[in-house]
Amino acid sequence: MERRDTLEQATPNRPAESDWFKYQLKHQDGTSKARRGEFVTPHGAVQTPAFMPVGTQGTVKGLEIGMVRETGAEMILGNTYHLSLRPGDDVVADLGGLHKFMNWQGPILTDSGGFQIFSLAQMRKITEKEAVFQSHIDGRKIHLSPERSIEIQENLGSDIAMVLDHVVELPNETKVIREAMDRSIRWAKRCQDAATRKDQAQFAIVQGGLDEGLRVECAERLGELEFPGYAIGGLSVGEPPPEMYRILDATCPALPAEKPRYLMGVGRPEDLLEGIRRGVDLFDCVMPTRNGRNALAFTDQGTVRLRNAKYQRDSTPLDPKSVPQ
């Protein structure tokens, strides 16, 4: 399938190539590893730390795009697997790219499809060449290699493309985790070699399960490949929160300090704070919007389940602190 140059067409006033992707550390907290920074992309800058709402199929469910902007979100996430099936990455490219398709002119990050390979465990086969699994729509076989993942993401025209990785269930045997980690590193290099667009940055993904040593090794080996950014994947898949924090304690210091760090699939407020405290810059998760669609709200006083009978005639604000005085 032919790659399309939609992102270049959509950004006629883009900066020089050397300035397309740049992370600048603005402030380092003196009592923790928390930091504030700015990540520049062809579609604008993102002030970090930042949370990315998830628009799986090109839209954040339940919200118009103007509402997403009003939340203060600066970058949103699209799903490579789902968009490649419906409407198709070639269709999105023909319609001008994902930014035009979504009517979102800010930065967009697309995942690689690795998590979908993980979640469709009963219908998949993974080899060194690729992952083969069944479409959840019509059951046909999907072949997803590192090269195909990048081809899809280049057709979509996102600012950030995630490399394809191999995620395994936890807990698991060390041998299985290491094999998946080593494959993820090899696939990351294949993604890097497959890139044809200088106006799209790739982020590598650190794997290694709950083994601190493997996580550090993976971070260091990926660091040698000099990606523009690094993600921490394979967490928030059922492990207790303290285990995730332990892995972050080991992994974050092993990542390049001058590059943005992205913790994938994490959205609980307390987890965001713990991640920020350890030096994470970017987060994404479907949970906040999913909870909103199911009438569950996050407040400073905890979660509020609006369908509970006691709120039927309650006219007070969800969170008094958020009401303008």
β-bridge mates for residue 76, sequence order: 108
- CB count, 10 Å around CB of 262? 27
Burial of 250 by CB count in 10 Å (0-12 exposed, 13-18 middle, 19+ buried)?
middle
CB 172 within 8 A of CB 216: no
Sequence-distant (≥ 6) Cβ neighbours of residue 218 within 8 angstroms: 181, 184, 185, 206, 207, 208
Would you name the residues annotated as active-site residues? 111, 284
Q: How far apart (Å, rounded) are the C-alpha atoms in residues 33 and 280?
A: 9
* β partners of residue 54: 77
Cβ–Cβ < 8 Å for 173, 202: no
If 0-12 CB within 10 Å is exposed, 13-18 middle and 19+ buried, where does residue 296 land? middle
